[in-house]
Each structure stands twice: as structure tokens, then as C-alpha cells.
Amino acid sequence: MVTIGIDYGTSNSEVVLSDGKHHQFVELDSDSKTPFKIRSSVFIYYEDDLPMPPVEVIEEKVQHIKRGISAQLDKAKDKYEEATTPAEQRRYLTQIDQLRGEFHNTPKLQRRAINELLKHQSVDDLPLYKMVETGTFLFGEAGFKQYLKTPEKGRLIYSPKNFLGASLLSGQRDAFVGLIAKQLGFFKSKAEAQLGKTVEGAVVGRPVKYHGTRGEDGNQQAISIMRDAATLAGFKKIDFLEEPIAAAYRIEQQLTEEKVALVVDIGGGTTDICLIRLGTQQQHQYDRQQDVLSVTGTRLGGMECDKNLILKSIAPSMGLGSETTNGIPVPPLYYNDMVAVDDIPRLNSFFSDEMGLEIAQTMSVAKEPEKLEKLLTVQEEKLSARLVNSSRLAKEMLSAKPHIVLPLKYIDPQYQVELTEADLKRSMIGWMARVKSLITECLKKSPEQPEILFITGGMSLSPVVQAEIKAMFPNLPVVEADAFKSISEGLSIQATRL
């Protein structure tokens, strides 16, 4: 059986086949500059007509129409009572009969409901499960580009992995199973086309703790969604491995003696850490629990930095920190909700008409209304995901340059923000402190101290992260390996042992 390693990441995903020594990456996105990894976002859209509204929505509309008819009936009955001539009475009786007929003609009511719904329907009215059932899926760059071109024709799920540990209603759970099954099915078919073999097994990476507020229940839910999705995608054998342990297996290949390694993996959605004994006698076994000294992890990744950078350095030019003419601060909540791209209820409340009205009202009394106008544009045009993505790009550029100008033309043609390394560093202070305390916690739980350090995951490319973590261990030798590939390669190594 061919078994692949799948690093299903918050931001990016990779698929690798290993023979124990060599790693073959699967080309997942030919539209990308980095075709061997793919954006984890998915755009589900409708090229032409939207699907028929769901039964419950039609039924709700039918009830709404019936309430209208009922009110008309009451009025006609009153008129009948008050009528003074037989001719008038006959007229109202006919009307009453007609309305009663309409009230009980279910097929006609349903047709009317569907027509009214279709006239006003937009993608926003469709529940996610309906979109998963009926929409067209576009993955990677193709999906993101289509979202930029026609955002109104579909919905972008920026980081599906971020939702797996969250509170989900039962329909939402099924929606995510269906959505991720489509992604994993896409990976599987790409792997099979490239390898020329049927792929039936997968070792899938998992964070120590999934992003979410539900603790162990959230983790169980996330794993069960991933397992169901992989099964639906046609995988016969599925196993999971903690991401930092996978990264450790990768660097184990370059060790010549036994070492205790501290592995810090900082990705887009989570930070995951482990202390593990590498190069031991068990090194070729599947189960290495004996060698794992401790693991810690939390929902704290690069996306949190992107949001912080917006709040600290971009949102002030959108009115955060400014006041109304009578000296009341513009509510900071607007901005916290604006960036909540991984929290569906909060983001929905930000995109609601009531919120639009509230911001517009605040804008009418603001000292600097032109700033709030930008916030209102993000609200009205649902640009949160785009803004967080711009901030991510800014953060990545600031790894290489001390000063950048970030264009935000999609909010306002003239709008751009200057950002410096120092701005980024300042926005990362609280975040960095939490990463460090997670490392300290991992060390405290372990009976042994590290002999080598390996920092991986996309955020390890940030000079701030590198400097701060290395400063915690000035005497520890640092192992170098690829920031993006180590986890997926480690997963494929584990796949060969399965």
C-alpha cells in the first residue's frame, strides 16, 4: 500500500512520499510560484445560477407569506362585519374565500416563496453545507485569484483547519467534513497522477492542540472531522502524528549520535513544541512514545501576528484610537471584530447590516470621518480576509526589508500604509512572550534538557522569532533545515514505517 505524508496546515499544505531516505514532493499547485505547496484556503463558488434554496429556508418563507395572507384575511373579515349593503358583503366574502384558498394552496405558496427567494438570493444566504454540496471548488492560487475577481460569487474559507476545534453546529461539522474531504481528495488525485500509483494510506500531521476554545473536546472533534474527511476522500488507512514530532524525525536523519532535541514549530495557526530523544535504538520504529519527553502547543500562530499588526499599525489609519466630536472613543470592538477571520460568529456580526449602520452613525459624528470610511468599506465589502492577507504579506516582507509601503487600494484607491521592522517588532511583543512561555512550559515538563535546537514552520523565517528564541538558549547548537518542508518530510518518514 502506498502511504503518503500530508501536512495539512493552517496556511499551506504539502504532500510527500518517502522511501525512508528520499522525499518526493507532490506538485499541488501549478499556478503557484511554489508549486509543491498549496494555500490551504478554498473558494467555493457559483459560476452561473445559485442553487435552489434549502427546504427549511423555503418553508420559513412560506410561513412568512402565510402570515401576510392571515393579516389580509383579518382585515377582510373586519370589513365584512362593518359592511352596510349586501353588495359590499358579497364583495368581502369573495375576497375572504380567495385569501383562504391562497392560504391553503401549498404548492402555489412554495412556488411563490422560491421565486421571491431566488430574486433576492445572494451567496451569503447559503449555509456552508449547501455550498459544499452544490458549489464549485477551487483550490490554491486559482481559488484565491477567483475570490479576488468575483468575491460576490462565492465564499472563501481562509483556513479551514482553524475551525476544526471550534464550537460547531451539527450541520457545520458535516460541512467541514465535506469540504476537507474535497481538499484531501484533490491531494490524493494529484499524488496518484504524479506517482502513477493508487494511494491508499496517509499519515496526517496534527497540532498538539487544535486552534479553538474547547480544549480536549475540540481536539477530539478536530481529529474525528479529519478522519471522516480522509475516509470520504478514499483513504483506507489514516493515522495522525503531532507536527513537531514529525519535524523531529526529519532532523533525526542528519544526526550521527543520540541527542535530546527541542523542536519549535511556529506555523500559521498554532505553535507546537516538543522535546524528544533522537537517534536512539527505537529510531526506525513506528511508536516512539518512549522517546518523546514532553509536548506543548497552543492556538498561537502567524495569523495572530497578522491580526496584531493590523490592530497596532494599520487600524489607527482606519479610526482606531480616534474620537467622536464629543470626545467619546471610537469603539475598539469594531476593529477586533473586523480581523476575526477565524471566528465565524464574530465575523458574521461584523458583516451584519446592524454593524454597518452603527459604524455609519459613528462616522457621522467622528472627528476624522475619512478614517472610519475605510473601516466601513471593509465592513460593507466584506474585505476582512483580504486585509489579513495583506498584513501577512507585509509581515513576510518585513523579514527581508526594514521598511515597506503596503498598498491597500482595494479599500481606497489612495490608501497605503508605511510599516517598519520596529512596528512589526512592537506588534509582536505579547505574542513572542506567549511563545517563549510555551517553550519554558515544555522544558519544565521534561526530565531532560535539550542538547540541540530546531526552529521550524513558516514563522521561523522571521528574524524577530529567530533572535528571541536563540537568545533563550545562547549555548545550544542550532540545527538548520527547511522551514516549510521538515514537517511534511517527517510525516512521510513515519508513513514508511506504517
Ligand X SMILES: Nc1ncnc2c1ncn2[C@@H]1O[C@H](COP(=O)(O)OP(=O)(O)OP(=O)(O)O)[C@@H](O)[C@H]1O
Instruction: Name the residues that contact Mg ion, by CB under 5 A.
Output: 9, 267
User: Does 297 sit near ligand X (CB under 6 A)?
Assistant: no
SS (HEC) of the chain? CEEEEEEECCCEEEEEEECCCCEEECCCCCCCCCCCCEECCEEEECCCCCCCCCHHHHHHHHHHHHHHHHHHHHHHHHHHHHCCCHHHHHHHHHHHHHHHHHHHCHHHHHHHHHHHHHHHCCHHHCCHHHHHHHCEEEEHHHHHHHHHHCHHHEEEECCHHHHCCCCCCHHHHHHHHHHHHHHHHHHHHHHHHHHCCCEEEEEEEECCCCCCCCHHHHHHHHHHHHHHHHHHCCCCEEEEEEHHHHHHHHHHCCCCCCEEEEEEEECCCCEEEEEEEECCHHHHCCCCHHHEEEEEEECCCHHHHHHHHHHHHHHHHHCCCCEECCCCECCCHHHHHHCCCCCHHHHHHHHCHHHHHHHHHHHHCECCHHHHHHHHHHHHCCCHHHHHHHHHHHHHHCCCCCEEEEECCCCCCCCEEEEEHHHHHHHCHHHHHHHHHHHHHHHHHCCCCCCEEEEECHHHHCHHHHHHHHHHCCCCCECCCCCCHHHHHHHHHHHHHC
Nearer Cβ to Mg ion, position 132 or 300? 300
Q: Which stretch binds ligand X (CB under 6 A): 3-11, 58-66, 115-123, 340-348?
A: 3-11
Choose the one of Mg ion, ligand X, none that binds residue 490, judging by a C-beta under 5 to 8 angstroms depending on kind: none
**CA Rg, the chain, in Å?**
28
Q: Hey, what's the cell of 460?
A: 521561523
Minimum gap (Å) between residue 99 Cβ and ligand X? 58
Residue among 10, 298, 362, 391 that touches ligand X (CB under 6 A): 10
Minimum gap (Å) between residue 456 Cβ and Mg ion? 8
Minimum gap (Å) between residue 269 Cβ and ligand X? 4
User: Does 9 sit near ligand X (CB under 6 A)?
Assistant: yes
User: Does 462 sit near ligand X (CB under 6 A)?
Assistant: yes
Choose the one of ligand X, Mg ion, none that binds residue 308, judging by a C-beta under 5 to 8 angstroms depending on kind: none
Nearer Cβ to ligand X, position 270 or 384? 270
Choose the one of Mg ion, ligand X, none that binds residue 219, judging by a C-beta under 5 to 8 angstroms depending on kind: none
Nearer Cβ to ligand X, position 6 or 359? 6
Nearer Cβ to ligand X, position 243 or 252? 243
Nearer Cβ to ligand X, position 339 or 459? 459
**Residue 81, burial from CB neighbour count under 10 angstroms (0-12, 13-18, 19+):** exposed
User: Does 270 sit near ligand X (CB under 6 A)?
Assistant: yes
Interface positions, 339-368, toward ligand X (CB under 6 A): none
Q: Which stretch binds ligand X (CB under 6 A): 6-14, 83-91, 175-183, 325-333?
A: 6-14
Measured from each CB, the residue nearest to ligand X is 302
Q: Give which of 29, 34, 32, 36 is closest to 14, Cα–Cα.
A: 36
Nearer Cβ to ligand X, position 271 or 324? 271
User: Does 461 sit near ligand X (CB under 6 A)?
Assistant: yes
Q: Which stretch binds ligand X (CB under 6 A): 73-81, 82-90, 145-153, 262-270?
A: 262-270
User: Does 151 sit near ligand X (CB under 6 A)?
Assistant: no
Residue among 161, 307, 312, 386 that touches ligand X (CB under 6 A): 161
Residue among 200, 358, 396, 441 that touches ligand X (CB under 6 A): 396
Choose the one of Mg ion, ligand X, none that binds residue 165, judging by a C-beta under 5 to 8 angstroms depending on kind: none
Residue among 153, 277, 371, 392 that touches ligand X (CB under 6 A): 392
Q: How many residues bind ligand X (CB under 6 A)?
A: 23
Residue among 53, 165, 457, 490 that touches ligand X (CB under 6 A): 457
Minimum gap (Å) between residue 41 Cβ and ligand X? 10
Q: Which residues bind ligand X (CB under 6 A)?
A: 9-12, 161, 243, 267-270, 301-303, 392, 395-396, 399, 457-459, 461-462, 484
